Chain A
Amino acid sequence: MSLYLSAVKYNLRFNLLPHIVAAAGLLMLTPVLFGITALDAMTVSYPLELSLPFLGVILLTPIYSSEQEPGTLDAVRVRKTPYLLICGIRIIMAAVLMFMFICGFVLLMSAMESEVSAAHVLAAFANAVFLGGLGILASAISGNVVIGYMVPVLYFVLDLMGSLGSFTMFSMMRHGTMDNKWILLIIGICCIAASIWSRYISMKRE
C-alpha cells in the first residue's frame, strides 16, 4: 500500500502538477469565453461540450510522456516496481482529477443559476474520457506526446465543423440529447486500455 501511496505522491509532484495547472487555467478561461450565468438546459452544453473535453487531453494524453525520452524506458524497465502498474495509477489519478474538476465546474454553474444536473457531469466526463482516450492511445502508439495532442484536436475540429454522427461530441449542443455519450465513454475507456496494451508491447519489444 505504501508503494502505491508513494507512486501517487511522486506522480503528483513530478508529473501531474503542470497539467493540473493547465487544467485549472482551462477552467478559469471557460467562464470568460462562454459565460456560465443563468444558462438554460440547452445552452449549458456550450461550455460543457466545447471546453471541458480538453481536460481529458490535458490530463490523460501526457501519461506516458516521461518515459518517451530516449533511454528513460530502459531505466524504468529494470526497476522492481512494474511500469504498467505505475501507468495505471497515473491514469486513475488523472481520471479522478478530471471527474473532480468537472464536478466542481458543474457545481459552480449550478450556483450561477444555470440549469445543470448530475447527467451533465457524466456527459462532460464521457466527452473528456473519449478525447483524452484518443490522445493517450495516439501518444502510446506513436511514442510522441505531440502526436497525442494532435489526434484529439483534429477529431474535435472535424466534429465541430462537420458532424460525426453517433460519434459526435456535440450531441447536447446540436440535438439536446446525451444518448450517445455512453458510446463515447466506452470508446474512451477502450482507447485507454489499448494504450496500456501498446505500452506493454513496446516494453516487450524494446
Chain B
Amino acid sequence: MITKTAWKNIWRNRVRSLVVIAAITIGIFGGVLAVGVMNGAIDQRINEVLDNEVAHIQLANKEFRANNDLEYSIENVDEIVAAIEENEEVEAVGEHLFVVGMANTARKSSGVNIIGINPEKEKELFGLHNELMPGTGDYFSDPDREELAYIGFDLAKNLNIIRYEINKKVIDELKKAEVPDEVISVINEYSGERFSNERSFKKEMRSALTGKQVSEYGSLILEKAQTFRPRAKFTLTFIDSHNHQTGGVFRVGGIYDIPNSMFESSQVFVREEILRRLVELPDDETHKIIVRLKDIENTKLITGNLKTEYPELEVLNWREIQPDIAMMSEMAEAFYGFFMVIILAALAFGIVNTMLMVVLERTKELGMLTAIGMNKKKVFRMIMTESVFLSLTGGLTGMIVSWIIITITSNQGIKLFSMQEGLEAMGFSAHIYPSITLEFFLIVTVLIIITGILSSVYPALKALKLDPADALRTE
C-alpha cells in the first residue's frame, strides 16, 4: 500500500517530477557518455600501443634506452629468442634493429628512427601492416626490391612524398560525395594544379572557399586531392657501427596511417638484413627483442620472469615503456569516480530539494495521515520510497538512454574530425568508439539507488518531526 501510494505521489506534480527525472536522466547520460568516450579513447590508445607500437614486453641492452646507440646491442639473440619462444604464454617473439638517422628527399629531410624488421615475423608481433593506405604500396611483398621502406603518413607529408592535385577524378569523386556545385565550381578552377605540400594546398583552399565550406568539406577535399607517386625514392642516412656516416636509397613500399602523428612522422621500417648490412652489425646481435603474449593479463608475471632470467638486460613491459599511457589509464579511473561523485551529488541535492518541497506542500496531509493512525515508521518509509522511486526512475532512464547511445556509438564511433590534428598529435584517434563495461553500469545503478536512499533521509526526518495538530492547522 505504501509503495503504491508513494508511486502515485510522485506523479502528483507531474511537471516537477518529470523535470527532476529529466535532470537525473541527462546528468547520468552525460556522465556515462563522457566516461564512455574517455574510456573508449584510452582503450583505443592502449590497443594502438600494444598492436602497432610497443607490444607487451621489450628486452634491450641496459644502456640502450638512454642513448639509442648502436653499440648497446643484445648479444646471442637467437638463443634468447628461442628460449622465450618456449614459454607457452608467449604468442610471438621478434627482433628490432634500431638506428637513429635522417630521411631525405630532394626538398625535405626529417629525423627518424629506422627500424630493421623481418616483415613476416613483424606481422605476428604487430598489426601495423594492416594500416597500409590503399594504393601506396604492398608492404614488403615485392621480392624483386629489397630496399623498401614502410613509412608513416605524416612522414610522407613532411618529405613531400604526398602531394595534392585537383584533376577530373577528384572532381568526379567530390560530385559523387554530394559536395555542392558552388564548392565544386571553385575547386574546378584549380584543375591541373599541383601542390607540393599540405600547407600550401590548405592555404589555397582557405582563400578560395568560405570558412563554412572549409569546415564542412575541407577534410574531404584534402583526402581526395592527395596523390602519391608509387615507389617514390628517398634516402636514409645514419652512422654505422664504426662511427662512419652511411646510408642508402630506399623506395616507399607502403605508407601506414595510424592515429599517432608522432609515431607516423618518426618510425621508418626497413628490412632487417639491409639495415644490418649498412650498419655492419654482427648477425647474432640486435637492439630490441619484442614479445607478444597470448593474454595481456600475464604481462606483469612474464615480465618478472624475464627480468629474473635475463638480469643483464633491461626488461620492460608496455606500462613501463609508455608510463604516460598507464598513468592516463589510472588517472582516468580516478576521474570517472570523481565525475560520478559530482553527478551523484547533484542528483542528491536535486532529490533533497524536491522532497523538502514535497514535505512542505503536504504538511497538512502528513498531519492527517498521522492523525488517522499512520505511524511515523510508515510516514518515513513513504517519503523514502517516493525519493527512491524518483531517483530510480531518472537513474534507470538515464542508464537505459546511455546504454542505447553507447551501444550505437560503440559500433559506429564518434567522429571528432575538427579535433583530429590535436588528438592525433597526442596519439589518440579522432574516431572514438565509446566503451563502458557492464560492471560500470551495475556500479552506477547501485550508486544511484544508494544516493536516492541517502538523500531522502533528511526530508523524511523532517516529515517525522511534524506535530499532527500543528500540521492539520496549516493551510
Question: Do A and B share a complex?
Answer: no
